[in-house]
Amino acid sequence: MAKKQDYYSQLSIGRDATAEEIRQAYFEAARRLHPDKNVAPGETELFIDVQEAYEVLSNPKKRARYDAILPSEKTPLLPVEQRILFSRSNLLHLDEPQLLYALLEFSPKADASQSPAPPLNICLVIDRSTSMQGKNMDVVKSTAIQIARKLKAHDYFSLVAFSDRAESILPAERGADAKKSEARIQMIQCSGGTEIFSGLEMGYNEVLRNQRNSSSNHIILLTDGRTYGDEEKCLDLARKAAEKGISIRGLGIGSEWNDVFLDELASLTGGSSMYISRPQDIQRILLEQINQLNMSVVEETCLEFIIPEGTELHYAFRIAPNPSLLPMESPIRLGPVLKDNNLQVLMEFVVQSAGENETVTLLDGKISVTSNNLETKTVSFPLKLKRPVKNEHSKEPPAPEIVSALSKLTLYRMQEQVRLEVTAGEYDRAAEHLQRLATQLLARGERGLARTALLEAEQISQKKSFSQEGQKEIKYGTRSLLISGERKQYGDLP
């Protein structure tokens, strides 16, 4: 039996048809198919179908509910399924600003999960400044050797070390002499400062040189220090990398590195930054990252959009995988979709004022999905987020997925607020805010993190500043609350 058509195709209208268009289409179809008029056998059944379609689509509430469960139009092509949830099914008729949340979710399809991951093209860019000396560098070296050993024959692996200038330790090649490579990694010496741009640029060129149509391209940057003066150049390079389909992941070791910068750098490319507080965690986190690269069903999801006048995209955050703040300018690289983890992105919109009986468009744009599972490599489809305006809120509570994500995200955002307050010199408010955060953390059973928050609150009231370490611990600690359940262990590489 042929698959039943969706209501929109039954009425031969687009998904974004207005109420008037739906009505017109229905009348037209009804005139043609009415039992008194129709000629061909089976048309009476069609007439019933059309009526059913109209009944749902003409009622905005029913239509919204139907839209929510409707698979996206290009479903048969895509290796992922898209789902959109809103915090409210409608906006309120209101003259003051109001908030609305939308959760975009992309989940891998069962058959896509079977297909093998594309060949990797990775460059590890390692900070070898003086401060890395000792345990940090030892663990990094041994992990790099492990990665080199475990990658598959079709993968490209290169390694760049940088301090004031960059040096290519392993040029990107396949099936390099393992013994020689390992010896070269062992010989890395620590000295000098941290100039991220030189390392990043060399890493970028290594990856670019071996980029194939089918490869999945990544730079993993490991640093423990701050770079001075070349931040802008780095960010420009990241934008360029994003356009070429190269992602950057930033791993910061210890407390001295600039997390705001690394976050921005990574999020421009769909990657994220991670905090490594102790040297013994370097190996686990690095291997986890490499493993994740092997798990992708979709290598990159990119959202291009415009926000209409009167609406503002106020906040965008990737909930899973790798929770991270997203840039709010089009295009946003949302990151990969993994085999065992849905991609979830939460967006907060502020609507300035909503007139009666109008439909407010929150966002108008398109999603491009890049995957090796696709014949054309990249497929785009439109994405339009809009909500009707009514005089009353619907009785339904917000989608539980949104509430659950927000319950944790709120804590992360409280921490962001505290940072802003400290920067603005509002120390008392910051300290109070941190105490409230501690209360919430305690309620969740996060005692260690709550303690850190309280200690920092004290530090702020007395010394008028965060401690580097506590600041990062709270930031990445609240962020990791979003990783649902227990920490996922990826185990060894295949």
Partner 1 sequence: MVICPNCQHKEISGAIFCSKCGAQLVDMNVATHKINTAERRAAEGITGGLKSSPPSTLQSWLSLHIVESGQILPLADRTEFTLGRMAEGQPIVPDVDLSPYNAYANGVSRLHSAIKLVNNQVVILDLGSSNGTYLNGTRLSPYVEMPVRDGDIAYLGKLKIQLLISA
Cβ contacts of 289 within 8 Å, gap of 6 or more: 220, 249, 251, 274
> 248 or 325: whose CB is closer to partner 1?
325
What are 320's strand-pairing partners?
Answer: 344
Which CB atom, from 128 or from 390, has the smaller least distance to partner 1?
390
Query: Minimum Å distance from CB 346 to partner 1?
Result: 11
Q: Which is nearer to partner 1, 101 or 157 (by Cβ)?
A: 101
By the 10 Å C-beta count (0-12 exposed, 13-18 middle, 19+ buried), 82 is classed as buried
Q: Is 356 in the site for partner 1 (CB under 8 A)?
A: no
Question: Smallest distance, Å, CB 491 to partner 1?
Answer: 20
Question: Closest distance between partner 1 and the C-beta of residue 480, in Å?
Answer: 16
The verdict on 98 binding partner 1 (CB under 8 A) reads yes
Give CA–CA dist 181/186, Å, rounded: 9
Q: Give min distance, CB of 433 to partner 1, in A.
A: 7
To 10 degrees, the CA torsion angle through 277, 278, 280, 285? 10
State which of residues 436, 483, 490, 493 lies at the interface with partner 1 (CB under 8 A).
436
Q: Report the site for partner 1 in 312-351 (rule: CB under 8 A).
A: 350
The least CB distance from residue 397 to partner 1, in Å, is 5
- Rounded CA-CA distance 127/157 in Å is 17
Chain position carrying tokens 């928050």: 453
Specify whether the CB–CB gap between 125 and 204 falls below 8 A.
Answer: no
Minimum CB separation of residue 393 from partner 1 in Å reads: 9
| Token representation of residue 453 | 């928050």
Question: If binding is defined by CB under 8 A, does position 99 make contact with partner 1?
Answer: yes
Work out which of 319, 326, 360, 406 binds partner 1, going by CB under 8 A: 406
Minimum distance from CB of 101 to partner 1 (Å)? 7
Number of residues in contact with partner 1, rule: CB under 8 A?
A: 33
Residues 99/349, Cβ–Cβ less than 8 Å:
yes
Q: What are phi and psi of 186, to 5 degrees?
A: -60, -25
Segment interacting with partner 1 (CB under 8 A) among 47-55, 91-99, 164-172, 337-345 = 91-99
Task: Name the minimum Å distance from CB 54 to partner 1.
Answer: 31
442 binds partner 1 (CB under 8 A): yes
352 binds partner 1 (CB under 8 A): no
Does 92 participate in binding partner 1 (rule CB under 8 A)?
Answer: yes
**Distances, alpha carbon 397 to alpha carbons 105, 216, 350, in Å:** 19, 41, 19
Answer yes or no whether residue 97 interacts with partner 1 by CB under 8 A: yes
- Tell me the closest approach of the beta carbon of residue 443 to partner 1, in angstroms: 4
Considering only CA atoms, which of 325, 331, 327, 326 is closest in space to residue 306? 331
440 binds partner 1 (CB under 8 A): yes
Query: Could you tell me where the beta strands, DSSP code E, fall in 150-295?
Result: 156-162, 166-173, 216-223, 246-253, 273-276
Distances in whole angstroms, Cα of residue 309 to Cα of each of 16, 350, 463: 19, 11, 44
Q: For residue 87, state whether it binds partner 1 (rule: CB under 8 A).
A: yes
Minimum CB distance to partner 1, residue 315 (Å): 11
Q: For partner 1, which residue of 104, 251, 411, 474 counts as binding (CB under 8 A)? A: 411
Report how far residue 484's alpha carbon sits from residue 154's, in angstroms, rounded to the nearest whole number. Answer: 33
Decide: residue 180, CB within 10 A, 0-12 exposed, 13-18 middle, 19+ buried.
exposed
Phi, psi dihedrals of residue 400, rounded to the nearest 5°: -60, -30
Of 443-482, binders to partner 1 (CB under 8 A) are: 443, 445
Pick one of 56, 109, 398, 481: the residue that binds partner 1 (CB under 8 A): 398
Nearer to partner 1, 425 or 445 (CB): 445
101 contacts partner 1 (rule: CB under 8 A): yes
- Residues lying near partner 1 in the complex (CB under 8 A) are found at 87-88, 92, 94, 96-101, 350, 395-398, 400, 402-403, 406-407, 410-411, 413-414, 417, 433, 436-437, 439-440, 442-443, 445
